[in-house]
Amino acid sequence: MLRVLLSRLVLGILTLLAVSVLIFASTEILPGDVASAVLGQGATRAALEEFRKELGLDRPGYVRYGEWLSGVVHGDLGQALTNKRDIMTSLRPRFENTLFLAGLAALVAVPLAVGLGILAAINEGKWVDKTANILSLAAISVPEFFIAYLLILLLSVELRWFPSLATIYSGMSLSGRLYAAALPATALTLLVTAHMLRMTRSSVLSIMSQPYIEMAFLKGLSRARVVVRHALPNAASPIIAVVALNLAYLITGVVVIEVIFVYPGVGQFMVDGVSKRDLPVVQACGLIFAAAFILLNIFADLFGMLVNPRLRKSTIGN
């Protein structure tokens, strides 16, 4: 397991390095720059060139990438070009807000999706299974921004149960945070629950055709017991992988939800950086998202091998 963990970490670091190159190259080809965004359209060419020189934008891209990567390795994400504030200091509370929102959604979505997926597999072909398939397919088919606006219209505008803007600030009580983040958390929960439910059901049903499952039925065991005691342990690895991918989505895919609800998270911070052409901010947010995604995938691989000894043996054998 230690060798597997080390290999996954090495691959993760190499992947993160490749992602950093892609992030830097992508931000470089964005139209305009921070000098044009700050000085406006009325700025003269001389003023723009002077401001770009002051910000260090006149140097070659590979030089700036090397300096940025060196700072990242030493834990320094640099300074924002627009306000000269330390990015790490500005990013830390926003990342905590994003983790709070993702954790709140995962706390509801993961047990709900896995439980409903197992229930649908036990009742394959019955009304429970059909209803779960219809509702989950409908939730997957609807864009996330449409779900968010529907929740705002229904629960905020019509019923006035929750605020339409998720205002979170330092020192806010837990109950206040839960109340403010209720709508964005609900939107994320609906999105990831539907996907995890369908994948859990598919993973369990794919095991049901195995010979040992047929033998269990021949022994007279009920379908519920066969699913829970025999099929579910072998279907745990793909379920864990799906859960990890959806947890990664909760952290990295919250950009649209955070923008709609004006939630002060990493996604909102990244969008603000893009609008202002503040490239160090965009690069830092993109790197944080990539690191979270890679770490969750490593966790999924390791946990999947822990619950399924056959995967551990095949991995060690390779």
Q: Which domain covers residue 128, as residue numbers?
A: 87-317
In tens, the pLDDT along 142-173 reads: 887 888 888 888 888 888 888 888 788 777 78
Q: Is pLDDT above 50 for 306?
A: yes
- Residue 129 inside a domain? The answer is yes
- Residue 131 inside a domain? The answer is yes
CA distance 302 to 307: 9
CA distance 83 to 232: 53
Q: Bigger pLDDT: 223 or 189?
A: 189
The CATH number of whichever domain residue 137 belongs to comes to 1.10.3720.10
- Residue 59 inside a domain? The answer is no
Q: Is pLDDT above 70 for 40?
A: no
- Residue 308 inside a domain? The answer is yes
CA distance 83 to 81: 6
Q: Bigger pLDDT: 130 or 234?
A: 130
- Residue 45 inside a domain? The answer is no
Angle between helices 279-307 and 2-28 (to 10 degrees): 160
Q: Is pLDDT above 70 for 41?
A: no
- Residue 282 inside a domain? The answer is yes
- State the number of CA atoms in the 13 A half-sphere of 11 facing the CB: 11
DSSP string, 96-154: HHHHHHHHHHHHHHHHHHHHHHHHHHHTTTSHHHHHHHHHHHHHHHS-HHHHHHHHIII
Q: Is pLDDT above 60 for 309?
A: no
Token pair recorded at residue 96: 């905590």
- Residue 48 inside a domain? The answer is no
In tens, the pLDDT along 192-243 reads: 888 888 888 887 777 776 777 777 767 777 777 777 776 766 677 777 777 7
Mean per-residue pLDDT over the chain, rounded: 78
Number of domains in the chain: 1
Contact 259, 318 (CB under 8 A): no
- Residue 64 inside a domain? The answer is no
Kindly report whether the global pTM for this prediction surpasses the value 0.95: no
